[in-house]
Amino acid sequence: MSQPAIEVTGLGKRYRIEHAARRETLRDALQHGARRIWRRLRWGTGFTHEEFWALREVDFRVEPGEVLGIIGRNGAGKSTLLKILSRITEPTTGRIAVTGRVASLLEVGTGFHPELTGRENIFLNGAILGMSRAEIRSKFAEIVAFAEVERFLDTPVKRYSSGMYVRLAFAVAAHLEPEILIVDEVLAVGDAEFQKKCIGKMQDVARGNGRTVLFVSHNLPVIRQLCTRTLLLDKGRLLLSGPTAQALAAYAHGQVANEAVRLPPPTDEQRSRVFVSACWVEHAHGAGLACARVGEPWRVRLRVTAARPIRDFVAGLGVVTSEGLGLQTVWSPATDLAPGEHELIYLQDSVALAADSYKLVVGLSEQGRSIQQFEAARLEITGENPLIPCAAASGYGLVLNSMQVSVRRL
Amino acid sequence: MPTQKPLPSLVITPAQGTSRYWLDLWRYRELLGFLAWRDLKVRYKQAVLGVAWAILQPAVQVVLLTFVFGKLAQMPAGDEQLPYPLLVLAGLLPWQLFSNAFSGAGGSLVGNSHLISKVYFPRLIVPLSSLAVAVVDFLILLVLTLLILPIAGYWPTWHLVLLPLFLLAALLIAFGAGLWITALTVRFRDFRFISPFILQVGLFVTPVGYRTDNLPTWRELLALNPLTGVIDGFRWCLLGGKVEFQATALISTVVVSGILLGTGLWLFRRTERSFADII
């Protein structure tokens, strides 16, 4: 067996969260006495702090030529893992052995300077990503062609359209030739067209040249498309490492702690009338749900607490795409609420939404006057659509249900 | 791609050793050049006078310091009837280098925080590149000085040969102090406000606008400032030995700059590993 491209053993990263006021300035530090300043200057400890393990006891191996996906909810430690692998920050415990040149792409266009021209930025960005001047020069024409910015090479990039900017930035990164490529959600930028181009390029990189790729994304269809094996992280621990389908299934079936969106605390006025006390998404049969698969029914449970009788109470639920496009809004029938806890259930069993992360916005009103309105939960839809054989991340619209179509001769 | 070639391997552990660090620093030397080039390029964009600022600023300072020390304070330029502005100019050269490098380094890591949090490279490259920028400005001013001196009747003498030595000392001091201010600024943003203040005071406790050999009472005290020896040395080299420099000042230059650089590197390396977490 060949040497692994990456071997991680017992990896942990601890952050300290310092309490009380943020001690960002010297004055704050001074208030804590000379001895403590001394400690502080020595970068030691001595302040009240809470330890927080962003990663803990993570072990895995990546074989050369493997395309490994990394998934998990926000805060699961994905980015921390990439940062450690890219040597941006040091681990607290553990050991990583890497064989081969590593290039990490945690952001598109790192180090681009708006005042510099496209040509200058290609060189600067290339150098920042670890290319030598000679290497950049030899790939210059290719980069420019991929980015389609020939005419604007000598224009400062601050005058570029955002599309051009992103294209140029990705073009530089795509022409890196490391043995190991580490990619964070860079595909979250740009339009659908561009994302497709990026994914295509990533596939070429992985398949054609036998390079090892580590890929973090929330975009599960893309993970499914690109990765052979996937790590599932949850709260800093490696929950599962296995074939992508298995990891995605585990993720979808709520083995991952369903992290509720933090509800904003109600104001005094809301508290004296009515406010949302809990809100979550679940399977139509009632089990907790981290991810619904395309076409699978889901429902939203909304709990409200009324402090006094509410007349003509209406609770609205809106489904909004991650780009902020409103998809659907429904209102509960107007009812009079008695004081106490009430539960509303919204069931969606007819519309198949495309795989994406959606926001659920909740609004409460009394006699037509709004009381509360905010994003109360997330709806994650993932997986393939049973109705269309090759559902992709985009290109088929947001609603995947079919229509009745008929043809007749006139 | 030749598969026979052994792939570079790398081990990442907490608190890593330093030998690889210096190797990386060498490997990333091109990035150092690019960052310095970027800073130079960007600095004078959209400035009508452009690079002229590299000359205009010190020129105004020469006039001001000549006026304050030479005219108002009636400080002697020396028995040799040295033109006072030349004396100031020769002293201003290393001072400018120091102050540009110092103020550049101070904000450099914070200014490049988007890089620090997204890409790995030896962080030492960042303050080094601000030093490189300061050196470019210095060289412009040096060339100009070397043109002015013969016009004023001071032809270069053999003393000039030793100038690189004093330049090296100035660089080491600037770099050492720059490392300190860089590491401290990342941790405490206060140093953004403290560093201009340090430079303001420094301009007066460093013999930029006056010469030390005419101040017997203060000489020993001034010699504690590592830049004193450097400035005396610059004058000695550029003005053909017309200004003497004392050995004690040189000793302090060597000792203090050594300490500054040593502790600066130590502090920087120590804090470096947490830069990405606290920046």
- Confidence class for position A396, pLDDT limits 50, 70, 90: low
pLDDT tens for each residue of A359-391: 889 999 999 888 888 888 878 776 654 443 333
pLDDT tens for each residue of B176-191: 999 999 888 888 888 8
**Interface residue B5 vs chain A (CB under 8 A):** no
For residues A55 and A85, what is the distance between their CA atoms, to the nearest angstrom? 12
For residues B87 and B231, what is the distance between their CA atoms, to the nearest angstrom? 10
The two structure tokens encoding residue B200: 């303001």
Residue A95: exposure state from Cβ atoms within 10 A (0-12, 13-18, ≥19): middle
Which among A211, A172, A326 is positioned nearest to A186, based on CA atoms? A172
> Residue A306: is its pLDDT beyond 70?
yes
Which SS3 state, helix, strand or coil, does residue A370 take? strand
**Residue appearing with tokens 């005042």:** A115
Residues 6+ apart with CB under 8 A from B22: none
- Confidence class for position A27, pLDDT limits 50, 70, 90: low
H or E element in which residue A183 lies: strand A180-183
H or E element in which residue A16 lies: strand A6-18
**Residue appearing with tokens 């977490």:** B277
Which residues face A281 on adjacent strands? Answer: A300
State residue A392's pLDDT score. 37
Stretch(es) of chain A classified as CATH 3.40.50.300: 6-101+178-252
Q: Do B11 and A95 touch (CB under 8 A)?
A: yes
State residue A34's pLDDT score. 60
CB count in 10 Å sphere of residue A341: 11
- Confidence class for position B5, pLDDT limits 50, 70, 90: low
> Residue A50: is its pLDDT beyond 50?
yes
**Interface residue A106 vs chain B (CB under 8 A):** yes
Q: What are phi and psi of A118, to 5 degrees?
A: -55, -45
H or E element in which residue B106 lies: helix B84-111
Q: What are phi and psi of A338, to 5 degrees?
A: -85, 155
State residue B83's pLDDT score. 83
Which residues face A183 on adjacent strands? Answer: A105, A215
List the Cα angle A178/B32/B161 in 5-degree steps.
145
Which residues face A51 on adjacent strands? Answer: A16
Q: Do A88 and B119 touch (CB under 8 A)?
A: yes
The two structure tokens encoding residue A192: 């659908």
For residues B79 and A326, what is the distance between their CA atoms, to the nearest angstrom? 85
State residue A60's pLDDT score. 92
For residues B23 and A95, what is the distance between their CA atoms, to the nearest angstrom? 20
Which among B21, B240, B34, B258 is positioned nearest to B129, based on CA atoms? B34
For residues B138 and B176, what is the distance between their CA atoms, to the nearest angstrom? 18
Q: How many helical (H) and strand (E) elements, i.e. helices and strands, does chain B have?
A: 11, 1
pLDDT tens for each residue of B38-82: 988 888 777 777 778 878 888 898 888 888 888 787 777 666 677
Give the residue from A7, A13, A37, A43 with the most B CB atoms within 10 Å of its CB, the best one to mutate.
A43
pLDDT tens for each residue of A146-177: 888 888 999 988 898 877 888 888 888 878 88
**Looking at this predicted complex, what is its ipTM?**
0.80
The two structure tokens encoding residue A287: 């089990």
B-chain CB neighbours of A84 within 8 Å are: 12
DSSP states of A138-186 as a string? HHHHHHHHHHT-GGGTTSBGGGS-HHHHHHHHHHHHHT---SEEEE-SG
Q: What are phi and psi of A394, to 5 degrees?
A: -150, 175
| CATH assignment of A6-101+178-252, among 1.10.150.20, 3.40.50.300, 3.30.70.1350, 3.40.50.2300 | 3.40.50.300
- Confidence class for position B93, pLDDT limits 50, 70, 90: very high
Q: Do A106 and B119 touch (CB under 8 A)?
A: yes
| Partner residue opposite A86 with nearest CB, options B38, B120, B274 | B120
State residue A331's pLDDT score. 93
Q: What are phi and psi of A379, to 5 degrees?
A: -120, 115
Torsion sign over Cα A308, A309, A314, A315: positive
Residues 6+ apart with CB under 8 A from A1: none
State residue A289's pLDDT score. 60
Window 39-78 of A, Cβ < 8 Å to B: 40-41, 43
**Residue appearing with tokens 């429904």:** A330
- In the 8-state DSSP scheme, what is residue A108? T
Residue A268: exposure state from Cβ atoms within 10 A (0-12, 13-18, ≥19): exposed
B-chain CB neighbours of A116 within 8 Å are: 38, 41-42
> Residue A38: is its pLDDT beyond 70?
no
State residue B168's pLDDT score. 92
State residue A20's pLDDT score. 45
**AA identity, residue B122:** P
Distance from the first to the final alpha carbon of chain A: 69
For residues B158 and B81, what is the distance between their CA atoms, to the nearest angstrom? 21
Superfamily of domain A268-382: abc- transporter (atp binding component) like domain (2.70.50.60)
Tell me the percentage of chain A whose pLDDT exceeds 90.
Answer: 21
Which residues face A346 on adjacent strands? Answer: A300
To the nearest whole angstrom, how far is the Cα of A299 from the nearest Cα of chain B?
Answer: 39
Stretch(es) of chain A classified as CATH 2.70.50.60: 268-382
Query: pTM higher than 0.80 for the full model?
Result: no
**Residue appearing with tokens 């004690």:** B248
CA distances from A304 to A12, A90, A137, A272, A374 (A): 40, 45, 63, 12, 14
A-chain CB neighbours of B41 within 8 Å are: 115-116, 120
**AA identity, residue B117:** S
Window 232-271 of B, Cβ < 8 Å to A: 270-271
**Interface residue B278 vs chain A (CB under 8 A):** no
CB count in 10 Å sphere of residue A35: 9
Give the residue from A11, A16, A37, A41 with the most B CB atoms within 10 Å of its CB, the best one to mutate.
A41
Residue B24: exposure state from Cβ atoms within 10 A (0-12, 13-18, ≥19): middle
> Residue A41: is its pLDDT beyond 50?
yes
> Residue A80: is its pLDDT beyond 60?
yes
Q: What are phi and psi of B9, to 5 degrees?
A: -120, 160
Which among B249, B238, B58, B223 is positioned nearest to B154, based on CA atoms? B238
The two structure tokens encoding residue B267: 């502090």
A-chain CB neighbours of B7 within 8 Å are: 99-101, 179
- Confidence class for position B97, pLDDT limits 50, 70, 90: very high
To the nearest whole angstrom, how far is the Cα of A354 from the nearest Cα of chain B?
Answer: 32
State residue A344's pLDDT score. 93
Which among A136, A114, A134 is positioned nearest to A123, based on CA atoms? A136
For residues A301 and A346, what is the distance between their CA atoms, to the nearest angstrom? 7
Pairing of strands A326-331, B9-12: unpaired
- Mean pLDDT over the full length of chain A: 80
Which SS3 state, helix, strand or coil, does residue A274 take? strand
pLDDT tens for each residue of A251-292: 766 555 444 566 778 888 888 899 998 888 887 776 666 567
Residues A142-165: b if buried by 16+ CB within 10 A, e if exposed: ebbebbebeebbeebbeebeeebb
Higher pLDDT, A50 or B258: B258
Q: Do A128 and B31 touch (CB under 8 A)?
A: yes
Report how many Cβ contacts below 8 Å link chain A to chain B: 111
Q: Are A91 and A84 in contact (CB under 8 A)?
A: yes
**Residue appearing with tokens 């300072």:** B61
Which among B250, B214, B199, B198 is positioned nearest to B84, based on CA atoms? B214
List the Cα angle B266/B268/B269 in 5-degree steps.
65
Pairing of strands A67-71, A229-234: parallel
For the ranges B64-73, B136-145, B265-274, the one whose mean pLDDT is highest: B136-145
- Mean pLDDT over the full length of chain B: 84
Q: Do A104 and B119 touch (CB under 8 A)?
A: yes
The nearest alpha carbon in chain B to A108 belongs to: B118
For residues B96 and A68, what is the distance between their CA atoms, to the nearest angstrom? 52
